Amino acid sequence: MELKTKIHAEEGKSDLMITREFDLPAELVFRAHVEPELFEQWMSHEYGTVKVVKFESRRHGSWEFENAGPDGTVVFRANGTIHEFVPNRKITRTFEMDGSPFDVQLEFLEFEELTEDTSRLTIHSVYRSVQLRDQMLKRPFAAGLSMAHDRLQNVIGKLKQETTK
């Protein structure tokens, strides 16, 4: 199936663009980004539960959330400050992952109405360096590789056990 999300990341640049069209009015996509209980719902998945610690949805407000693994231990925390807050239109904010090698990044979220029931979200993320951006882009790719590697190790481990029996 064709993915509805587009990523634009030019080589040698320290920023990237994420674009997605929704079968939702811009207002609802915006709400999903500012109301803690909604944000927690769509950001959580089988490997991690997102819990909002603080969500001050206003100019100069700050935000923080934590992501807990299946056993409940916090895997990482992320936080930032809001610089611009235009309801249903735009959020400019910083994003920082606690204790990660990634420096703080700047994010511009723009919510655009296409029709009454459809909208487009554009996230423009600016990193401190080209290397950091590329590292971030490769993270899910690397995670996929290491997961595949783990699975392989598991299979090999089982095979070994069976042959030594």
Partner 1 sequence: MNLRRDVFQAIADPTRRAILVLVASQSMTAGAIAANFDTARPTVSKHLQILTECELLDQEQKGREVYYQLNPKKMKEIADFIEPFRKMWDDRFNKLEAVMKKYRK
Q: Which residues bind partner 1 (CB under 8 A)?
A: 3-7, 9-12, 18, 20, 22-25, 28-29, 31-32, 38, 41-43, 45, 117, 121, 136-141, 143-144
Smaller CB separation from partner 1, 19 or 81: 19
Tell me the angle at which helices 26-34 and 36-43 cross, rounded to the nearest 10 degrees.
90
SS3 breakdown of the chain: % helix, strand, coil, rounded to 5?
30, 40, 30
Phi, psi for 10 (deg, rounded to 5): -75, 140
For residue 33, the minimal CB distance to partner 1 (Å) is 9
For residue 17, the minimal CB distance to partner 1 (Å) is 11
Confirm if 40 and 50 have CB atoms less than 8 A apart. Answer: yes
- Which residues are CB-contacts of 98 (< 8 A; sequence separation ≥ 6)? 76, 77, 78, 79
Structure tokens belonging to residue 83: 């610089």
Smaller CB separation from partner 1, 46 or 162: 46
Structure tokens belonging to residue 97: 């992952």
For residue 123, the minimal CB distance to partner 1 (Å) is 9
For residue 48, the minimal CB distance to partner 1 (Å) is 11
* Beta strand ranges found along the chain (DSSP E): 5-8, 15-22, 49-55, 62-68, 74-86, 90-97, 105-113, 119-126
Smaller CB separation from partner 1, 37 or 162: 37
Smaller CB separation from partner 1, 81 or 118: 118
Smaller CB separation from partner 1, 6 or 160: 6
For residue 159, the minimal CB distance to partner 1 (Å) is 28
